[in-house]
Amino acid sequence: MILKYFLDTYKPHQHLLRVEMEVHPDKQETLLCIPNWSPGSYKIRDYSKSIHKLDFISPKSGWTLEQIDLDTWKINSKGETFKISYLVYGYEHTVRTNYFTSEFILVHPPATFLYPKDKLDLEVEISWKTLSPFRYCHTGLKKKEGSKNVYKANNLDEFFDSPILLSNEKELSFSVQGCDFDLVILGDISAPDKKKIAKDLTLIMETQIPNMGGTENSYYLFILDMSENLYGGLEHLNCSINQYDPNGFSSPENYRILMELLSHEYFHHWNVKRIRPIALGPFDYQKPNLTKELWIAEGITSFFDAYFLLLCELYSPQQYLNKIWKDILELEESSGESWMSLEDSSFTAWTKYYNRPFDPNFSNTGISYYTKGAVLSLGMHLFILSETKGKKSLLDVMQALNKQYHQEKKRGFTKSEFFQTAKKATGLDLKLEFDPYISEPKRIPIEKYLHLAGIERTPSKPKAEPGFRVKEERGRLIISKILLGKSIRDVDINVGDEWISIDNRRVLSGTYKEILNNYQPKRKAEILLSRRGQILKRRIQFDSSASNCELWIDEKAKSQALETREKFFNLNKEIKLPASKPAKKKTRSK
């Protein structure tokens, strides 16, 4: 049985897409559902809120259609083939939602398509009635043989994992190790800048693919949406959707952050899409798919995204150390590690991590499995390099997981299987060394592992820390975060208070940092706040901040550390690839 969808651009300026659906039922009644979440974005999204005017096309006598749950409709067609149509509203500009405009249409399948409940193995065909007013259809879906406008998927898991972009933007193409890549960049970006992104992206692919032992993909699509005030990415099996603010594009540091994002999402086509915790597939799209191993899925990926930039020399060694120091500092500034373990952070992501914008206390009671997972992976990588004298690394673990569980067993792995595979691949018991920092709310002694490579944390002049963070809102400084691990934890200061002055000096967005530089740790000060129209005075004592420290390379380290560091900064430099060449002419049309 083939499930068929027909799409109509309808009214993109009103952010509406029309969907027609043809179903061949095997029962009198059919339950149609729409997913409640998207793999890779672990939060219930309630996509049904954007579905409107669902009804039969040419109904017959006695047929009925009824919504029986927020995400489910019951269709009684007496077992006959039926067609329905509905409108989808798409104007939420993220990587996990639909965004339909007159400039481009980005279709996120889980937020768009109803499907027969418990029938995820159905083959799918999808076609556009017209692409107008757009010229190109960009997608990882394959064309149906002999058809100009019909795409197909082997099952609904593949279909939901294949976003579709309609635009007037032509792709940039390149090829690496037998895989053809397309890069589509949306936004007001100059042609030379687009070519630079494609060139550097090619370099990253040339580094990642051989270090992971090759890729199964023959095609991969990068969609890069350059829009103001956006940042994020979502991985798919042979595609990724990426969003980045173009305003800081000319800054070298911001450009490297963009390349980290693209590197991150591409590495996911191994880690998560193929190498995965066992709970992440097959999916139940209607409820949370809980796992304690998101630190593997996202943390390890967050380590390798920047590390590959180091290996392909888009980061210098010192620039890379500056980057990982920011991750370390983020953990040190928070008391969350004493409240939440990495496994807890992974398991509760649906209600805690993904709701952190609405929880001002998250930084004090929670941790990011991205950040701590990346720091843990850094420690693992350095430990393996040191103990094996550079013969093995964390990449050997990832390759072994890919081979044993994806390629051979065709399933995900458990936590114990992860560590069993790591021991077989490296000869080391990583569980014995690292499990306390995974299963317990315990800080990672990352300096211990950096020391193995002759990388040290330099002490610097103590910097005064007020114990809170601020953001600017309409010219006012608003308290945005309270650092509970600091002296301020016992002071009555709330998130949302307006900070007016310190020791009778007015604080403004352009001056407060300079004013704070005049204070030393342990000094006391009086600050003036406004809370719900009331003026409040509070006494605070400055703490000492680690933000003034940095990581540096100890050239006098012991020989073993020097060897480990050399391998760390130059891993697999002996891998040589043929020069990249333009992509071969593809049968898929755009």
Radius of gyration for the chain, computed over Cα atoms and rounded to the nearest angstrom: 26
Residue 363: what pLDDT? 83
How many of the other CB atoms lie within 10 Å of CB of 169? 20
Show which of 118, 141, 167 is a domain's final residue.
167
3-state SS of 17-42 is EEEEEEECCCCCEEEEECCCCECCEC
The parent domain of residue 29 ranges over: 2-167
Nearest residue to 253 via CA among 315, 187, 328:
315
Q: What are phi and psi of 193, to 5 degrees?
A: -65, -40
How many of the other CB atoms lie within 10 Å of CB of 44? 15
Nearest residue to 552 via CA among 459, 449, 443:
459
3-state SS of 519-574 is CCCCCEEEEEEEECCEEEEEEEECEEECCCCEEEECCCCCHHHHHHHHHHHCCCCC
Look up residue 526 and give its two tokens. Answer: 């009086």
Show which of 243, 269, 295 is a domain's final residue.
269
**CA–CA gap between residue 202 and residue 548 (Å, rounded):** 36
The separation between the first and the last C-alpha atoms of the chain, rounded to the nearest angstrom, is 28
Residue 579 located in a structural domain: no
**CA–CA gap between residue 233 and residue 153 (Å, rounded):** 23
**CA–CA gap between residue 186 and residue 194 (Å, rounded):** 10
**CA–CA gap between residue 177 and residue 452 (Å, rounded):** 34
CATH number at residue 506: 2.30.42.10
Residue 114: what pLDDT? 98
Residue 580 located in a structural domain: no
Residues 357 and 415 placed together within one structural domain of the fold: yes
**CA–CA gap between residue 43 and residue 355 (Å, rounded):** 9
Look up residue 333 and give its amino acid.
Answer: E
Residues 288 and 415 placed together within one structural domain of the fold: yes
Give per-residue pLDDT as tens, 290-309. 999 999 999 999 999 999 99
Residues 470 and 453 placed together within one structural domain of the fold: no
In the sheet that 51-57 helps form, which strands lie side by side, from edge to edge? Answer: 51-57, 82-89, 16-23, 2-11, 123-128, 150-153, 142-143
Cα angle 170, 127, 145 (rounded to 5 degrees) comes to 85
pLDDT under 50 in the chain at which residues?
574-590
Residue 581 located in a structural domain: no
- Is the preceding peptide bond at 133 cis, omega within 30 degrees of 0? yes
Residue 463: what pLDDT? 82
CATH number at residue 38: 2.60.40.3650
Residues 243 and 198 placed together within one structural domain of the fold: yes
Residue 582 located in a structural domain: no
Residues 49 and 67 placed together within one structural domain of the fold: yes
Residue 579: what pLDDT? 40
Residues 565 and 534 placed together within one structural domain of the fold: no
60 burial type by CB count under 10 A (0-12 exposed, 13-18 middle, 19+ buried): exposed
Residue 586 located in a structural domain: no
CB 571 within 8 A of CB 563: no
**CA–CA gap between residue 242 and residue 167 (Å, rounded):** 16
CATH number at residue 248: 1.10.390.10
Show which of 124, 143, 167 is a domain's final residue.
167
**Domains: count for the chain:** 4
| Reduced DSSP (H G I as helix, E B as strand, rest coil) percent helix, strand, coil of the chain, to 5 | 30, 30, 40
Residues 33 and 150 placed together within one structural domain of the fold: yes
Residues 159 and 177 placed together within one structural domain of the fold: no
Give per-residue pLDDT as tens, 529-571. 999 999 999 999 998 876 768 899 998 899 999 999 999 998 7
Residues 356 and 339 placed together within one structural domain of the fold: yes
Residues 410 and 424 placed together within one structural domain of the fold: yes
Residues 176 and 286 placed together within one structural domain of the fold: no
Residues 347 and 437 placed together within one structural domain of the fold: yes
H or E element that contains 183: strand 179-186
Residue 589 located in a structural domain: no
Residue 573: what pLDDT? 56
